[in-house]
Structure 1
Amino acid sequence: MPAAFSAALALATAGCSGNQPPRTPPAMVPAGDPVNCVQTSQIRSTQVQDDQTIDFTMRNGQVFRNTLPNRCPGLGFSRAFSYSTSTSQLCSVDIITVIEQGGGPRRGASCGLGQFVPAKPADAPK
Protein backbone atom coordinates (compact mmCIF):
# COMPACT_ATOMS: atom_id res chain seq x y z
CA MET A 1 0.00 0.00 0.00
CA PRO A 2 1.47 3.43 -0.87
CA ALA A 3 2.72 5.58 1.99
CA ALA A 4 0.50 8.44 0.95
CA PHE A 5 -2.71 6.46 1.13
CA SER A 6 -5.65 8.84 1.22
CA ALA A 7 -9.15 7.80 2.12
CA ALA A 8 -12.28 9.83 1.95
CA LEU A 9 -15.69 8.70 2.98
CA ALA A 10 -18.98 10.51 2.64
CA LEU A 11 -22.00 8.61 3.76
CA ALA A 12 -25.57 9.79 3.91
CA THR A 13 -28.63 7.87 4.87
CA ALA A 14 -31.32 7.37 2.26
CA GLY A 15 -34.09 9.93 2.38
CA CYS A 16 -32.01 12.60 4.06
CA SER A 17 -34.55 15.28 3.40
CA GLY A 18 -34.17 17.79 6.14
CA ASN A 19 -36.75 17.66 8.93
CA GLN A 20 -35.59 14.55 10.74
CA PRO A 21 -36.42 14.35 14.44
CA PRO A 22 -33.46 13.88 16.77
CA ARG A 23 -32.95 10.26 17.63
CA THR A 24 -31.38 8.40 20.49
CA PRO A 25 -28.57 6.03 19.56
CA PRO A 26 -29.53 2.37 20.01
CA ALA A 27 -28.30 0.96 23.29
CA MET A 28 -24.96 -0.80 22.88
CA VAL A 29 -22.69 -2.42 25.43
CA PRO A 30 -18.91 -2.74 25.20
CA ALA A 31 -17.76 -6.05 23.72
CA GLY A 32 -14.02 -5.61 24.27
CA ASP A 33 -11.34 -3.07 25.01
CA PRO A 34 -11.30 0.28 23.14
CA VAL A 35 -8.79 0.67 20.32
CA ASN A 36 -7.26 3.84 18.94
CA CYS A 37 -7.42 2.88 15.24
CA VAL A 38 -9.32 0.74 12.73
CA GLN A 39 -8.18 -0.31 9.26
CA THR A 40 -9.97 1.81 6.63
CA SER A 41 -10.04 -1.14 4.22
CA GLN A 42 -12.07 -3.11 6.77
CA ILE A 43 -14.84 -0.51 7.23
CA ARG A 44 -17.97 -1.81 5.50
CA SER A 45 -20.38 0.94 6.56
CA THR A 46 -21.00 3.70 9.06
CA GLN A 47 -24.14 4.82 10.83
CA VAL A 48 -24.27 8.33 12.26
CA GLN A 49 -26.47 8.12 15.35
CA ASP A 50 -26.37 11.74 16.56
CA ASP A 51 -24.02 14.73 16.86
CA GLN A 52 -21.58 12.70 18.96
CA THR A 53 -21.96 9.02 18.03
CA ILE A 54 -20.92 7.03 14.94
CA ASP A 55 -21.12 3.24 14.60
CA PHE A 56 -18.53 1.69 12.27
CA THR A 57 -19.44 -1.77 10.97
CA MET A 58 -16.47 -3.76 9.80
CA ARG A 59 -16.33 -6.33 6.99
CA ASN A 60 -16.41 -9.16 9.55
CA GLY A 61 -19.62 -7.77 11.09
CA GLN A 62 -17.96 -6.35 14.20
CA VAL A 63 -19.27 -2.94 15.27
CA PHE A 64 -17.08 -0.23 16.77
CA ARG A 65 -18.91 2.67 18.43
CA ASN A 66 -17.03 5.95 18.30
CA THR A 67 -18.24 8.56 20.76
CA LEU A 68 -16.69 11.87 19.82
CA PRO A 69 -15.21 13.75 22.80
CA ASN A 70 -17.34 16.78 21.90
CA ARG A 71 -20.62 17.36 20.09
CA CYS A 72 -20.10 17.86 16.34
CA PRO A 73 -22.62 20.47 15.10
CA GLY A 74 -24.73 19.27 12.19
CA LEU A 75 -23.46 15.66 12.19
CA GLY A 76 -26.69 14.14 13.51
CA PHE A 77 -28.80 16.21 11.12
CA SER A 78 -26.75 15.63 7.97
CA ARG A 79 -25.76 12.06 8.89
CA ALA A 80 -22.83 12.40 6.48
CA PHE A 81 -19.13 13.03 6.96
CA SER A 82 -15.78 12.74 5.24
CA TYR A 83 -12.27 12.10 6.42
CA SER A 84 -8.80 12.06 4.97
CA THR A 85 -5.86 10.10 6.32
CA SER A 86 -2.28 9.58 5.18
CA THR A 87 -2.24 6.00 6.49
CA SER A 88 -4.41 2.93 6.03
CA GLN A 89 -6.00 3.52 9.43
CA LEU A 90 -8.63 5.83 10.86
CA CYS A 91 -7.60 6.80 14.38
CA SER A 92 -8.85 8.66 17.44
CA VAL A 93 -6.47 11.53 16.59
CA ASP A 94 -8.12 12.00 13.16
CA ILE A 95 -10.67 14.65 12.20
CA ILE A 96 -13.98 14.14 10.39
CA THR A 97 -15.81 16.88 8.49
CA VAL A 98 -19.60 17.08 8.32
CA ILE A 99 -21.01 17.07 4.79
CA GLU A 100 -24.01 19.41 4.79
CA GLN A 101 -26.84 18.68 2.36
CA GLY A 102 -29.12 21.10 0.54
CA GLY A 103 -28.14 23.25 -2.41
CA GLY A 104 -25.32 20.82 -3.12
CA PRO A 105 -23.01 19.24 -0.60
CA ARG A 106 -20.70 21.56 1.31
CA ARG A 107 -18.29 21.24 4.20
CA GLY A 108 -19.56 21.76 7.72
CA ALA A 109 -17.94 21.46 11.13
CA SER A 110 -14.72 19.51 11.60
CA CYS A 111 -14.51 17.38 14.72
CA GLY A 112 -12.13 14.96 16.41
CA LEU A 113 -12.88 11.28 16.80
CA GLY A 114 -12.82 9.33 20.05
CA GLN A 115 -11.64 5.78 20.66
CA PHE A 116 -13.26 2.90 18.80
CA VAL A 117 -15.12 0.70 21.26
CA PRO A 118 -16.14 -2.81 20.15
CA ALA A 119 -19.87 -2.94 20.83
CA LYS A 120 -22.91 -5.13 20.55
CA PRO A 121 -26.63 -4.39 20.99
CA ALA A 122 -27.59 -4.25 24.68
CA ASP A 123 -30.21 -6.94 24.12
CA ALA A 124 -27.86 -9.33 22.26
CA PRO A 125 -27.34 -12.78 23.78
CA LYS A 126 -24.23 -13.12 25.91
Structure 2
Amino acid sequence: MKLSVFAGLLACAVTVSCGPFIPVTKLDKVPPETMTAALNVKIYRAGAETPKVNQYIGQVIGNSCKNLMTDPPPTTNDALLRLRIDAVQKGANAVMDVTCDPAGTDTWGTNCWSSVSCKGVAVRE
Protein backbone atom coordinates (compact mmCIF):
# COMPACT_ATOMS: atom_id res chain seq x y z
CA MET A 1 0.00 0.00 0.00
CA LYS A 2 2.74 2.48 0.99
CA LEU A 3 4.70 1.71 -2.18
CA SER A 4 1.71 2.40 -4.44
CA VAL A 5 1.00 5.72 -2.67
CA PHE A 6 4.65 6.72 -3.05
CA ALA A 7 4.63 5.73 -6.74
CA GLY A 8 1.45 7.77 -7.30
CA LEU A 9 2.91 10.84 -5.60
CA LEU A 10 6.14 10.50 -7.55
CA ALA A 11 4.27 10.23 -10.85
CA CYS A 12 2.20 13.29 -9.95
CA ALA A 13 5.30 15.31 -8.99
CA VAL A 14 7.11 14.39 -12.20
CA THR A 15 4.09 15.26 -14.34
CA VAL A 16 3.51 18.65 -12.69
CA SER A 17 7.17 19.69 -12.65
CA CYS A 18 7.80 19.10 -16.36
CA GLY A 19 6.54 22.42 -17.72
CA PRO A 20 7.14 26.03 -16.76
CA PHE A 21 4.86 27.64 -14.19
CA ILE A 22 4.69 30.86 -16.24
CA PRO A 23 2.77 31.24 -19.51
CA VAL A 24 5.10 30.49 -22.43
CA THR A 25 3.57 30.61 -25.92
CA LYS A 26 4.45 27.55 -27.98
CA LEU A 27 5.66 29.09 -31.24
CA ASP A 28 5.00 25.96 -33.29
CA LYS A 29 1.30 26.27 -32.40
CA VAL A 30 0.97 29.90 -33.59
CA PRO A 31 -0.84 30.18 -36.95
CA PRO A 32 1.29 31.70 -39.75
CA GLU A 33 -1.04 34.69 -40.18
CA THR A 34 -0.75 35.48 -36.44
CA MET A 35 3.04 35.21 -36.62
CA THR A 36 3.14 37.57 -39.63
CA ALA A 37 0.88 40.09 -37.87
CA ALA A 38 3.00 39.81 -34.70
CA LEU A 39 6.13 40.79 -36.59
CA ASN A 40 4.39 44.04 -37.57
CA VAL A 41 3.40 45.04 -34.01
CA LYS A 42 5.22 48.22 -33.00
CA ILE A 43 7.10 48.23 -29.71
CA TYR A 44 7.47 51.41 -27.65
CA ARG A 45 9.90 51.02 -24.76
CA ALA A 46 9.11 52.57 -21.38
CA GLY A 47 10.30 56.17 -21.27
CA ALA A 48 10.44 56.43 -25.06
CA GLU A 49 8.10 58.12 -27.50
CA THR A 50 4.40 57.52 -26.78
CA PRO A 51 2.18 56.51 -29.70
CA LYS A 52 -1.10 58.18 -30.59
CA VAL A 53 -3.52 55.74 -28.93
CA ASN A 54 -7.00 55.11 -30.31
CA GLN A 55 -7.81 52.26 -27.91
CA TYR A 56 -6.20 50.82 -24.79
CA ILE A 57 -6.55 47.01 -24.77
CA GLY A 58 -4.70 45.88 -21.65
CA GLN A 59 -1.54 44.30 -20.33
CA VAL A 60 0.38 41.80 -22.44
CA ILE A 61 3.21 39.52 -21.36
CA GLY A 62 5.85 37.54 -23.21
CA ASN A 63 8.07 35.01 -21.47
CA SER A 64 11.17 33.23 -22.72
CA CYS A 65 12.05 30.26 -20.52
CA LYS A 66 14.84 27.68 -20.39
CA ASN A 67 12.81 24.94 -18.76
CA LEU A 68 14.79 21.87 -19.86
CA MET A 69 18.53 21.36 -20.17
CA THR A 70 18.07 20.99 -23.94
CA ASP A 71 16.16 24.30 -24.32
CA PRO A 72 18.07 27.27 -25.76
CA PRO A 73 18.91 30.13 -23.38
CA PRO A 74 16.12 32.67 -22.96
CA THR A 75 16.52 35.93 -24.86
CA THR A 76 14.89 39.34 -24.84
CA ASN A 77 14.10 39.00 -28.55
CA ASP A 78 12.26 35.73 -27.93
CA ALA A 79 10.28 37.28 -25.06
CA LEU A 80 9.42 40.30 -27.26
CA LEU A 81 8.16 38.01 -30.04
CA ARG A 82 5.90 36.22 -27.57
CA LEU A 83 4.74 39.64 -26.27
CA ARG A 84 3.85 40.66 -29.83
CA ILE A 85 1.91 37.41 -30.35
CA ASP A 86 -0.07 38.07 -27.16
CA ALA A 87 -0.81 41.59 -28.41
CA VAL A 88 -2.05 40.35 -31.82
CA GLN A 89 -4.24 37.73 -30.16
CA LYS A 90 -5.87 40.52 -28.14
CA GLY A 91 -6.39 42.74 -31.20
CA ALA A 92 -3.54 45.24 -30.75
CA ASN A 93 -1.16 46.65 -33.33
CA ALA A 94 1.30 48.25 -30.88
CA VAL A 95 2.62 47.78 -27.35
CA MET A 96 3.73 50.73 -25.23
CA ASP A 97 5.63 51.07 -21.94
CA VAL A 98 7.52 47.83 -22.66
CA THR A 99 9.98 46.63 -20.06
CA CYS A 100 11.99 43.40 -20.07
CA ASP A 101 13.54 41.74 -17.04
CA PRO A 102 15.82 38.72 -16.89
CA ALA A 103 14.66 36.57 -13.99
CA GLY A 104 17.84 34.53 -13.65
CA THR A 105 17.64 31.19 -11.86
CA ASP A 106 14.25 30.80 -10.20
CA THR A 107 13.32 27.14 -10.53
CA TRP A 108 10.78 27.26 -7.70
CA GLY A 109 8.74 30.28 -8.83
CA THR A 110 8.82 29.77 -12.61
CA ASN A 111 10.19 26.24 -13.07
CA CYS A 112 12.76 27.75 -15.46
CA TRP A 113 16.53 27.50 -15.21
CA SER A 114 16.52 31.08 -16.39
CA SER A 115 13.96 33.34 -18.04
CA VAL A 116 13.27 36.75 -19.55
CA SER A 117 9.88 38.38 -19.10
CA CYS A 118 8.62 41.36 -21.13
CA LYS A 119 5.49 43.31 -20.20
CA GLY A 120 3.65 46.23 -21.73
CA VAL A 121 0.29 47.80 -22.53
CA ALA A 122 -1.39 46.65 -25.74
CA VAL A 123 -3.00 49.43 -27.79
CA ARG A 124 -4.51 50.17 -31.18
CA GLU A 125 -2.94 53.15 -32.92
Q: When the two structures are superposed, what TM-score results if normalisation uses the length of structure 2? A: 0.27
Q: Which has the larger Rg?
A: 2
TM-score using structure 1 length: 0.27
Q: Which has the higher helix share?
A: 2
